[in-house]
Amino acid sequence: MVKLAWRSLFRQRRRTALLIAVVAYATLAILFFWGFVDGFLNSIYQGQGRLVAAPVAIHTEAYQADPDLSHALTELAAAREVAAAHPAVSAVSARLDVPVLLRSPYASRGANLRGVEPSTEPAVSDVPGAVKEGRFLAAQGEVVLGIALARDLDVRLGERLAVDANGLDGPAATGLTVVGFVDSGVEQVDETVVLAHIDDARTLSGVTTATSLAVGVPFGREEAVARALNQDLSAGVAAFGIMDQMGDLAQGLAAERLQMLPLGLLFSLFAAVAVTSSLVVSVMERTREFGVMLALGMSHRRLGLMVTTEAVLGSLLGLGVGLVLGYALLVWLAQVNVLGPAIMAAYGDFLSGLALTNDVRADVRLEYAMYAGFTVVLAAVFAVITPARRVARLVPSEAMRAPD
């Protein structure tokens, strides 16, 4: 039976090619849809992670629960040593986050001032690279602001900003000269970033060490490295991957993905309809042939089985081709940043509210094959029910008279 079906598929190349193309296209489309959706969400996630947080952050567990200055990382040197010893770690930079009030002559804003080590911060964050006007920090007494925050305060490069803080030793204040503006295109970043020299942050906060260590780690290895570091860090101190640092965002993105589900199902439904209709059409085209087969003595059951086998084989072939092409496409889109510039060119303004960087890579997950496979099976079930029922109703003497 399989042989019979296989021969029929192989000999009817044009029809089979069409079926394979339709199934493969549906498979590819489903793979691309989810790879793109997940890649897009990942990109927001990673983008925000590297702009707002750090690939991996080391701080006290108390600070993770309540980011208060009193929970600062006192054993800075020891933690730094642990982090630097891990082979995947490219850089380690101390940070000291202090809640402050920024004052210009025209306005004032509450903000979180991040004291950083100017020489190492660029290795652990994308923010220094997003300084589009002026320059990054070089010395004490300087501050770099998000461009939107700077606009709110109406400050210009070279002007002084008054900074008030409620440190551990009581209120403290200083004046910092604005040397650069961060224009990352990410609203959250451009509205909130305040970077200063870590020593200024120490003066303001009364903390002599840092609140956390930012650890540079290759893309995608954040959680694994955090786990590894946790083996060696002393009690009460822990390393956190992006997921832990940005739990709210992760939840938000999971919800976002859930919202894509109806769209994904709709997509699958269209794909299934396309596959079903091409299978149904291919059966209808062969009414006369089936009539001859029945007349020659093939049973309806056997004919139905043959049609089903053909449909399944053809769909499987299409699925295989679609999976190969789809995954090839996704792997390529995961390695080469093609989507990012394309999306930015098309929707950049519209998307500026999201923490979307210019770098959007497709995600490649095994489960997409399941989504596509489910769709094709669904389609095949429809397809098999319809033509098989049609075949079952065929009367050979009438079927043979069907037009070609």
Shortest distance in whole angstroms from residue 354 CB to another protein: 26
Give the C-alpha separation, 131 to 328, whole Å.
Answer: 36
**Contact range with another protein by CB under 8 A, out of 101-109, 241-249, 275-283, 365-373:** 101-109
Nearer to another protein, 124 or 179 (CB): 179
Shortest distance in whole angstroms from residue 398 CB to another protein: 9
* Contact pick of 11, 77, 87, 262 for another protein (by CB under 8 A): 11
Shortest distance in whole angstroms from residue 68 CB to another protein: 12
CB neighbour list of residue 9: distance below 8 Å, 6 or more residues apart: 16, 310, 313, 314, 317
Distance set, CA 229 to CA 89, 276, 371 (Å): 10, 53, 36
Give the C-alpha separation, 211 to 207, whole Å.
Answer: 8
Nearer to another protein, 107 or 342 (CB): 107
CB atoms within 10 A of CB 75: 15
* Contact pick of 18, 74, 120, 141 for another protein (by CB under 8 A): 141
Amino acid at residue number 219: F
Nearer to another protein, 133 or 256 (CB): 133
| Angle between helices 247-285 and 300-335 in degrees, nearest 10 | 140
Shortest distance in whole angstroms from residue 300 CB to another protein: 6
For residue 145, what are its two tokens? 């602001």
CB neighbour class for 351 (10 Å; exposed up to 12, middle 13-18, buried from 19): middle
* Contact pick of 18, 88, 99, 243 for another protein (by CB under 8 A): 99
Q: Does 163 bind another protein (CB under 8 A)?
A: yes
Beta pairing, strands 160-167 & 142-146? unpaired
* Contact pick of 162, 274, 280, 281 for another protein (by CB under 8 A): 162
Shortest distance in whole angstroms from residue 18 CB to another protein: 15
Number of residues that bind another protein (CB under 8 A): 51
Strand partners, 111: 100
Q: Does 395 bind another protein (CB under 8 A)?
A: yes
For residue 36, what are its two tokens? 């793109």
Nearer to another protein, 318 or 396 (CB): 396
Shortest distance in whole angstroms from residue 107 CB to another protein: 6
Give the C-alpha separation, 24 to 6, whole Å.
Answer: 18
Give me the residues that bind another protein (CB under 8 A), please. Answer: 4, 7-8, 11-12, 99-101, 103-111, 141, 156, 159-166, 170-171, 173-176, 288-289, 292-302, 395-397, 400, 404
